Amino acid sequence: MSQPDVIALLKKAKENNNHFTFLVGAGLSAESGIPTFRGEDGYWVIGSKNYHPQEMATRQMFTKHPKEVWEWYLSRIKAYGKSIPNEGHYALVEFEKHLQGQFSLVSQNVDGLNLKAGNSIDHFYPIHGDLTFIRCFNECSDELYKIRDFFNPEEEITKETFDRLVCPKCKGITRPHVLWFDEAYDEKFYRLNSVLEIAEKTDVLFTIGTTGTTSLPHHIFQTALQNRTLIIDINPDDTIFSQVLYEYDNGFVIREKSGSALPKILKRMKI
């Protein structure tokens, strides 16, 4: 399928009031200076042992070493606080403006950049959480609290910082509002059922900046294949998704960075 064919199909889908779902991963934020997950990632040290994010980002590690795990997240929150949305984020805001109710944004990213760019919460599904929020570790309520009300990303992290991260309701410890590797997706915090419903009604699926490694994004992709959905993958590298799309007659692979590919598609769709 050529690029002009895809643009014609996208314009027709918009006119036919079809539903567009944008499934985004760490690659969308790469041009904002945020390292991807499976790229060159830093280690973290507790005691004398180096840990990988996959070992750090767990309920088990938090239960054993809450202060150290909080310190690791606070350093990421500081980094995210300095990051600004890139052209790919702003293109998704434009898509939402023109598609409105035909638009769903399913994000694996926890950097808060989609909302910072201007996407509305109404069509936004942060399925791995959002590091700009914290919540009660003991779940005395489902309430999400803005991290900025407890910690200013511009400030230094000190022992005193940790003492401030207490639940306003029960005074117990809080946790970052993110899905840990040893936890399961749910509707309450990660919009699981809503996203499964969206996957079923999706007519056009964009997979952007993701290796498709985690289970819910993989399920969304599989549902789209079963429903013969038009699928467009945007990624400078090959992934398990693009490998399938090369053999799928309603798919298109754009081997490009999202910061340039998305604005181009917008322009060619003349929206």
Which residues are at the interface with ligand APR (CB under 6 A)? 25-27, 30-31, 36-39, 108, 128, 209-211, 213-214, 234-237, 239, 257-259
Nearer to ligand APR by C-beta: 53 or 161? 53
φ, ψ dihedrals at 74, nearest 5°: -65, -35
Which residue out of 19, 89, 123, 128 is catalytically annotated?
Answer: 128
Nearer to ligand APR by C-beta: 136 or 262? 262
DSSP β-ladder status, 129-136 and 145-146? antiparallel
Residues 6+ apart with CB under 8 A from 185: 127, 179, 192, 215, 216
Residue 228 token pair = 């013969």
Nearer to ligand APR by C-beta: 24 or 230? 24
Q: How far is the CB of 207 from ligand APR (least distance, A)?
A: 9
The number of C-alpha atoms within 13 Å of 234 and in the hemisphere containing its C-beta is: 25
Q: Is 128 a catalytic residue?
A: yes
Q: How far is the CB of 80 from ligand APR (least distance, A)?
A: 13
Count CB atoms within 10 A of the CB of residue 50. Answer: 10
Count CB atoms within 10 A of the CB of residue 71. Answer: 17
Residues 6+ apart with CB under 8 A from 236: 27, 255, 256, 257
Q: How far is the CB of 168 from ligand APR (least distance, A)?
A: 27
Nearer to ligand APR by C-beta: 229 or 239? 239
Active site residues: 128
